[in-house]
Amino acid sequence: MPERIALHVNGRHVEVDRGSTVLAALAVAGVAICRRSVQGEPRGALCGIGVCFECRVTIDGVAHRRSCQILCREAMEVRTDG
């Protein structure tokens, strides 16, 4: 069994396998909206490979991190703009 990692998505406790992306933690938490566009539309991940920047979220207080490219770490605090 892969090791599990616990973190928070918008204050909610979530567990994922080690090696999972932050985007995976969002999906496990049932969060599809990562950010709001300049006009306020909801947006979620698109390209999955770090190109489009639609999946950006705030991680441990740092804004604009690409959730599809960053792996979960224990006790990470993830915030979306949804």
Partner 1 sequence: MAERRTEVLVIGAGPAGLAAAAAAAACGRRVLLVDDNADPGGQIWRGEGRAHLAVPARFEVRCGVRVVDACGASAVLAESAGGVERLTFDRLVLATGARERFLPFPGWTLPNVVGAGGLQAMVKGGVPIAGKRVVIAGSGPLLLAVAAYLRSRGARSLLIAEQTGRLRLARFVLGLAGAPQRLRQTLELRRALAGVPLLTDAWPLSAHGAGRLEEIRLRTRRGERGERCDLLACGFGLVPNTELAALLGCRVEAGCVAVDEHQATSVAGVYAAGEMTGIGGLDLSRIEGEIAGYAAGGDERKARAGLGPRRRARRFARALERAFALREELRELPDARTLLCRCEDVSVGRAARYPSWRAAKLHTRCGMGACQGRICGAAAAFLFGWRCEHARPPASPARIATLAAQHEV
Q: Smaller CB distance to partner 1: residue 24 or 58?
A: 24
Q: Does 77 contact partner 1 by CB under 8 A? A: no
The DSSP 8-state label assigned to residue 28 in this structure reads H
Non-local CB neighbours of 62 within 8 Å, separated by 6+ positions: none
When binding is defined by CB under 8 A, the residue of 8, 52, 58, 81 that contacts partner 1 is: 52
DSSP line for 57-70: EEETTEEEEETTTS
**Which residues contact partner 1 (rule: CB under 8 A)?**
16-17, 19-21, 23-25, 27-28, 32-34, 37-39, 41-54, 56, 64, 68-69, 71
